[in-house]
Structure 1
Amino acid sequence: MDRLDKFLSNSKIGSRSEVKRLIKSGKIRVNGKIIKNPNYKVSNSDTVEFNNQIIEGHKFIYIILNKPAGYVSSTYENKNKYVIQLINHKYKNELSIAGRLDKDARGLLFLTNDGELIHEIISPKKKIYKTYEVKVIGNITKEKIEKLEKGIQLKDFKTKPAIVEKIENNIITIKISEGKYHQIKRMMKAINLAVIDLKRVAIGNIFLPANLKEGEWIEIKKPDIFNNSSPK
């Protein structure tokens, strides 16, 4: 259930402050009754009216895209290769990206028109871990892994401790709760490793499906990003 003011603002009736004024002035009916409390709870089974017109609840869309390398993480289209060009959905123009990937990176992109969920994902305070598979030039030693796990001092900041698992001599999975510009590449460079392949496989509890091919997308239900989002 949502508050009435949130329901109306999500339905594009107006901003949160504008719909509050409409509610308090008696312009909104719920199931035929005038409601003047912006915090009044409404559900999908309720009939909400404004100016004798039924207001349809705005639908939130949640999309997982397996981004190929070479595409820019943007929802704007032009002559370049942008990820939004890969999505064929009637609400595609409303979508925003929750955590971009570099042009040469690939893997999980999560797109939605749910602004509150995007904020939850990208807010540093929430500490939502992002998981990457990283292939490098060079040998990933125990000492280098320990540096990543303690935090790397970069030019402008020190990274928070990462969770690292060695897969092969030159491949690791790494979980970080930050999302600074080129962060993974900069962390690898700081320990004398060069990234040759970077693939994101998870954002919190949102995982890239193994059977989703590069360039393909699927629509999912609203995810619980906090379920197992942080390593123990």
Structure 2
Amino acid sequence: MRISHYLALCGVASRRQAARLVDAGRVTINQQVAAHTDRVESLHKLDICVDGHPVLAPQDKQYWLYNKPVGIDCRLLINDSCSLLHFLPTSPRLYPAGRLDKDSRGLLLLTNDGELTQTLMHPDFHHSKTYLVQVDKPLTAKFLSDMASGVSYGRVQTRPCTIRLVNSITFEIVLTQGLNRQIRRMCQAFGYQVMDLLRIKIADVCLNDLPEKTMRPVSAAELLSLKQLTQST
């Protein structure tokens, strides 16, 4: 298998993120900078490192849900005191399968399953994520219709989505994309400011009553539904 695939299996990062590590020259094999074409067929006499730190052999897959509060950064940066890294167990190494920005809160899936992470994060797979959004002024029927039809901002055109009015300043939205700060930028395009953004669902897995800053294992039924996503892509 290619080196990026192997790093994903080891829980270092998703396959796409692992490819970026290779691009940046941060991965070495036997003290030589790795290339994308390098393959790992056997660990015999292979010394694989990322940023000089040895990569441990693949561990059993772990799947956890976490209710992220506002103020935690999903980037796993050891020198950032607000990084999610400081709120996770040291072993096994987990990482979020899809980020929430620092000002948003709600459901994260934490795992060391690179294949599942790739499936959930890649925009081509169209897997749904559901959010509750509170804005700074009353919502209109035109706003809801325009948001549902897809929004242009910058050089981006968002996909059509499902949207439902909850109350005068709150709506529920189901996206099949994972663009950077997408909901905030969609709202801004129509003159609205997001005051609160809560992710309540990833595919069929729900936040429900999980308290903030709390982790729990993914249930057997939830894991089955997630595994079915990889089989259908």
Q: TM-score, normalised by structure 1?
A: 0.71
**SS of 2:135's equivalent?**
strand
Call closer, same or farther: CA 1:77–1:18 in 2, change over 3 Å: closer
Cα distance in 2, alignment partners of residues 209 and 223 from structure 1 = 18
Map of 1:64 onto structure 2: 65
CA deviation profile, 1:159-200 (whole Å, cap 9, x unmatched): 101100100010001011111111100101111111000011
Cα distance in 1, alignment partners of residues 111 and 10 from structure 2 = 15
Cα distance in 2, alignment partners of residues 61 and 209 from structure 1 = 20
Output the amino acid matched with 1:18. Answer: V
Map of 1:128 onto structure 2: 127
Map of 2:20 onto structure 1: none
Cα distance in 2, alignment partners of residues 158 and 102 from structure 1 = 20
Output the amino acid matched with 1:141. Answer: T
Taking the TM superposition and a 5 Å limit, the aligned residue runs for 1:41-56 are none
CA deviation profile, 1:137-169 (whole Å, cap 9, x unmatched): 111111110001111111111110110010001
- Larger Rg belongs to: 1
C-alpha RMSD of the superposition: 2.8
Cα distance in 2, alignment partners of residues 85 and 165 from structure 1 = 36
Map of 2:101 onto structure 1: 102
**SS of 1:19's equivalent?**
coil
Cα distance in 2, alignment partners of residues 173 and 16 from structure 1 = 45
**SS of 1:147's equivalent?**
helix
Cα distance in 2, alignment partners of residues 18 and 227 from structure 1 = 27
Call closer, same or farther: CA 1:11–1:170 in 2, change over 3 Å: closer
Tell me if structure 2 keeps the 8 A contact 1:128–1:204.
yes
Alignment size in residue pairs: 185
Taking the TM superposition and a 5 Å limit, the aligned residue runs for 1:12-23 are 17-19=39-41
Map of 2:189 onto structure 1: 190
Instruction: Determine whether 1:203 maps to 2:211.
Output: no
Match of residue 211, structure 2, among 210, 213, 216: 213
Call closer, same or farther: CA 1:217–1:11 in 2, change over 3 Å: closer
Percent identical residues: 27
Map of 2:136 onto structure 1: 137
Instruction: Determine whether 1:87 maps to 2:85.
Output: no
Unaligned runs of 5+ in 1: 1-5, 23-55
Q: CA deviation at 1:75?
A: 2.7
Cα distance in 2, alignment partners of residues 204 and 104 from structure 1 = 22
Call closer, same or farther: CA 1:194–1:10 in 2, change over 3 Å: closer
Q: TM-score, normalised by structure 2?
A: 0.71
Output the amino acid matched with 1:224. Answer: S
Call closer, same or farther: CA 1:197–1:57 in 2, change over 3 Å: closer
Cα distance in 1, alignment partners of residues 9 and 135 from structure 2 = 44
Map of 2:48 onto structure 1: none
Tell me if structure 2 keeps the 8 A contact 1:64–1:110.
yes
Call closer, same or farther: CA 1:200–1:143 in 2, change over 3 Å: same
Q: CA deviation at 1:19?
A: 2.5
**SS of 1:116's equivalent?**
helix
Q: CA deviation at 1:77?
A: 2.6
